[in-house]
Amino acid sequence: MSKFFKYFLAVVLGSMVSAFFFLIGIVMFISILASSASKDVKVDKNSILVLELSGPIVERATSDPLQSLVSELSGQPSTTGLNQILASIKKAKIDDRIMGIYMEPGLAMGGWATIEEIRNALIDFRESGKFVHSFGSVYTQKGYYLASAGDKVYLNPAGMLDFQGLSSTYTFYKGTLEKLGVEMQVFKHGEFKSAVEPFILYKMSDAARLQTETFLNSMWQHVLNQVAESRNISVEALNQTAENLPAFMADSALLASGLIDSFKYKDEVIEELKSLTGIESKKDLNGVTLAKYDQVYLPGKKKGLEKNKIAVIYAQGEIDGSSGGIKSGELSRTIRQARRDSSIKAIVFRINSPGGSGLGSEIIWREVKLARETKPFVVSMGDLAASGGYYIACAADTILAHPTTLTGSIGVFGLIPNTQGLLKKIGITTDRVKTNTFADMPALDRAFTADEKRILQAYIERFYTFFLQRCADGRNTTVEAIDEVGEGRVWSGENALGLSLVDKLGGIDDAIKIAANMANIESYRIVELPEMLTPIEQVMKSLSGDASARIGNILFGEEFRIFQTIRDLQTAYPVQARMPFEISVN
C-alpha cells in the first residue's frame, strides 16, 4: 500500500509540474501575441534601419508565435523572411526619416542566391544617396559578401573575416549501410544524377566531381567580380587574398587587402552613425529594427486600393517530402485559384526547391501550364530550383535566376533498400504467400529479381523521357537539346543562362516588373500566396506536423538534415526528381 501511495503521489506531482509549465507556456504565448498586436511604430527623423541578420533567412516569413516562444526559451535567433527584408529596404529608400542602414550580417544564414537578393537591394538603396555601414565581430563568407555592398565595412579588432573560396562537402552512407546489412537498389537515368551516390559509393564519382567543380567555379567567379567592383579591388588581387586565408591574416595585411575599411569597436561605430545622422553624442541613436519597421506604412501611402494584382506564389522546400515543404495538392490548388481570379493579372512563381516526388512535380507542372495559357506567368528562382524544382518551372513564359542559383539537375531516380542482410543479422526471417508474380513488389526484405529490376528501370527511363519532353515544350526546343544539358547535371544560374535553361539573371523584383509589363499594367498591388496562417493556426501546425523538425533543428542544428534525408527515404514516392540530396556551399 505504501508503494501505491508513493507512485500515486509521484504521478500527481508530475502532473502538477507539467500543468505548471504548460500554464507558463500559455501565459508567454499570450504575452507574445499581445506584444505583436498591431501598434503604430514610431519612426523618428534622422533614423537608421537596423538589420541584424544572424538567424535563418527563408523565402517568406510566417507569423509564428510558437517560433518566437521557442527562440526566447532556447536563445536561438528567430527566422526572418526574405520578403520582409527586401520590402523594408525598398521602403527605407523612399522614407525621408531613414538616413541610412546599419547592419550586422556577419552570421547571415541563407543560400547564396538569397544573400545576392539582399545585396542587390542594398546596392539599389545606396543609389538614393543614403549610406550603408556594416559591423561585425565575425564575418562568414556570405556575411562578408553582403557587407561588401555597403559604404563601410568595419571589423572588431579581435574579430575574424572568412574569405577563402567556396567548397561543397558530401556525406556518404555506404559504409554504414554495409555494416548494417542494408543494400540500396538504385534505378536512375542521368550520368550526373548523383542523388543516389551517398548510398552506393564511398566518395564522389568523376561526373559528380565535374559538375560540382563547374558550378562552384561559376559561383566563385561571380562573387569575386561583385566584391571586386564594390571594393574597387582587382579580381586577381582579391583571389590572391583568398589564397592567403584572411581569417588568420595580420591586422596590417587585412587592412592592406582592402576587404575592410577599418578595425572598430561597436561603440565607435555607433558614434560615427550619430555623427552621420546629426545626433548628439550624449543622446541615443534613432534606430528601428527590421521587425518593427516591417509594420510601418509610409505617411500618405495608400494600402491595398489598387484593383489590379500580381500574385507572388511561393514554393519552398522538397516536393511532397515528409518534413513539410511543398505539398503538390495544396500548391496546385493555390495556382489554380490565382488563375481563376480575374483581379490577378499576372503570376510570379518564386521557387526555392531541390525537387522531390516525380508525381508531385507533374501535378504542379499541369497547373503552371494552365495558368500560363491564361495570364503572364514568370518564374523567379531562389537558392535552388533543381530537378523537380526545374520541372515545375519549365512551363513558364519567362524564367529568372540569380548567377548563384543552383538549377537544372534534369534527371530521375528510384532508390529502394533491401534490408535482408540487416534482418538476418538480428535473427528475423520472413516468408510470404502471393497470388501473382509481382504481388509483393516492392519488397524491402529481399533483393529485386531480374524481371523486377528490368520493369523499374524501364519505368525510370519512361519518366525521364517524359521529363525531357516537358522541358523541351516549355523552353521551345528539342528533347535532344535538353538531354545534352540534362543527365541530372546541376548548373549555376549563370551556366543555365548560357544553356538557355533560364531567360534572364535577376531577382524577384525583376520578375514582378517583367510580369507587369507582360500584363500591360503600370499600377498594381502584390498579393502573396498561399495566404498566411493565423497565429492560432500556425501554432496548431507547429505543434503537429512540423514539431519534430523544429525540435530536431534546435537540438542537432545542421546535422539534423542527415537524419531527415534518411527518414525521407522511408516514405518517399518511388520515382524522385530531385538534385543530390544535400548540396551545401559554404
- The catalytic site residues sit at 193, 387
Q: In the numeric block, which cell numbers belong to residue 511?
A: 520578375
Which residues on adjacent β-strands are paired with residue 393?
none
- CB of 524 closer than 8 Å to CB of 307: no
Q: What phi, psi does 493 have (nearest 5°)?
A: -60, -40
Length of the chain: 586
CB 280: neighbour CB atoms within 10 A? 8
Cα(65)–Cα(46) distance, rounded to whole angstroms?
A: 32
Q: What distances in angstroms separate CA 37 from CA 41, 290, 336, one per listed residue?
A: 11, 16, 33
Q: In the numeric block, which cell numbers belong to residue 177?
A: 549501410
113 exposed, middle or buried (CB, 10 Å; 0-12, 13-18, 19+)? buried
- CB of 381 closer than 8 Å to CB of 416: no
Which residues on adjacent β-strands are paired with residue 161?
139
Selection from 339, 335, 345 nearest residue 313 by Cα = 335
- CB of 260 closer than 8 Å to CB of 133: no
For helices 450-475 and 358-372, the axis angle rounded to 10 degrees is 20
- Residue 79 sits at the vertex; the CA angle it makes with 78 and 80, to the nearest 5 degrees, is 120
- CB of 170 closer than 8 Å to CB of 201: no
- CB of 98 closer than 8 Å to CB of 130: yes
Which residues on adjacent β-strands are paired with residue 554?
none
Cα(379)–Cα(402) distance, rounded to whole angstroms?
A: 12
CB neighbour list of residue 292: distance below 8 Å, 6 or more residues apart: 41
Cα(191)–Cα(488) distance, rounded to whole angstroms?
A: 7
- CB of 23 closer than 8 Å to CB of 261: no
> Distance of alpha carbon 529 from its chain centroid, rounded?
17
Q: What phi, psi does 106 have (nearest 5°)?
A: -55, -35
CA-CA-CA-CA dihedral for 367, 369, 371, 374, to nearest 10: -140
CB neighbour list of residue 266: distance below 8 Å, 6 or more residues apart: 135, 156
DSSP 394: T
CB 426: neighbour CB atoms within 10 A? 8
Cα(232)–Cα(331) distance, rounded to whole angstroms?
A: 44
DSSP 42: P
Note every long-range contact of 557-564, with CB atoms under 8 Å and residues 24 or more positions apart, other chains counting.
558/584, 562/171, 564/323
Q: Which residue has the cell 539573371?
A: 505
